[in-house]
Amino acid sequence: MTQSTANDTADCQANNSALDEFAKFDPGAIALLLDVDGTLIDIGPSPFDVDVPDTLKHDLAALDRLTGGALALVSGRPIRDLDILFAPLRLSSVGGHGAELRIAGAAASRIDDLPSDMRRHLTDAATPGSGIDFEDKGYSVALHYRRAPQQEDRLRAHVEASRAAFAAEPTEVLLGKAMVEVKRPGINKGDGVRALMMQAPFRGRMPVFIGDDVTDEAAFVALPALGGKGFSVGRNFSGLSGIFSSPAQVRRALRQLARYE
């Protein structure tokens, strides 16, 4: 057996184990917390060019009912964008890596925005033809270089220059998959998950979180104290209960949990 074949076999076994472990959950006893890009849906060429299958929306709606509303999207995207992507669903959500929180049926809370001049300075990196896309979320600016990986060094230099130009404004940098985000400090998915789990209908349930990126690490770190379990897509994090091979496998696991298979 070649090393490549051995790795493929190990990945298949790990994925099957994750599917088996996930299928054991009782939706009536858990809080289902789901990252979006790279977890529920495949990474697109830009944040604005992604596909959310109708079958996924159908399964999420079913699981929202089965969990008694204890299902939430936990994403770096703003909640307004999540609502557009998953329309007509308006699910409970942690948006902006924890900068926003909404329990379905209630108004969303959010932190204060960064100064508009600073956000303009940051988005100046997305010049025409550069291949860089930006998301101005108000409280943060995310710069994506999926379509132009050769721009990474220039983009990071631009970000540091922007922060230096507004040195009096406390910020920190969050790195993700072909992405650099400047945000207010102390905002992360771990704290967002903790805040969510204090609210009904999530309170008192076992959180089950699925994520895929280093931006999800804070959520994985938060799980043990909450009695929760974590699953990832395609990479290992400490203390995981399983690793899925792809967003397609996550969607399969959700469908199984919704008892359609």
Told to judge if 191 belongs to the known catalytic residues of this protein, a careful annotator would answer no
Cβ(215)–Cβ(99) below 8 Å: no
Amino acid identity at 162: S
Q: How far apart are CA 251 and CA 19, in angstroms?
A: 11
Half-sphere exposure of 73 (CA within 13 A, CB side): 31
Q: Strand 133-136 relative to strand 140-144: parallel, antiparallel, unpaired?
A: antiparallel
Q: Among 35, 64, 133, 212, which one carries the catalytic annotation?
A: 35
Handedness of CA 164, 168, 169, 175 (dihedral sign): positive
Each as own residue / partner, the long-range contacts of residues 160-168 (CB below 8 Å, 24 or more positions apart, any chain) are 162/118, 162/121, 162/122, 165/118, 165/121, 166/115, 166/117, 166/118, 166/121
Residues forming beta bridges with residue 92, ordered by sequence position: 72
Amino acid identity at 145: Y
Q: In whole angstroms, what separates CA 215 from the centre of its chain?
A: 7
Q: Quote the DSSP letter at residue 2.
A: -
SS3 of 57, please?
helix
Residues that are catalytic: 35
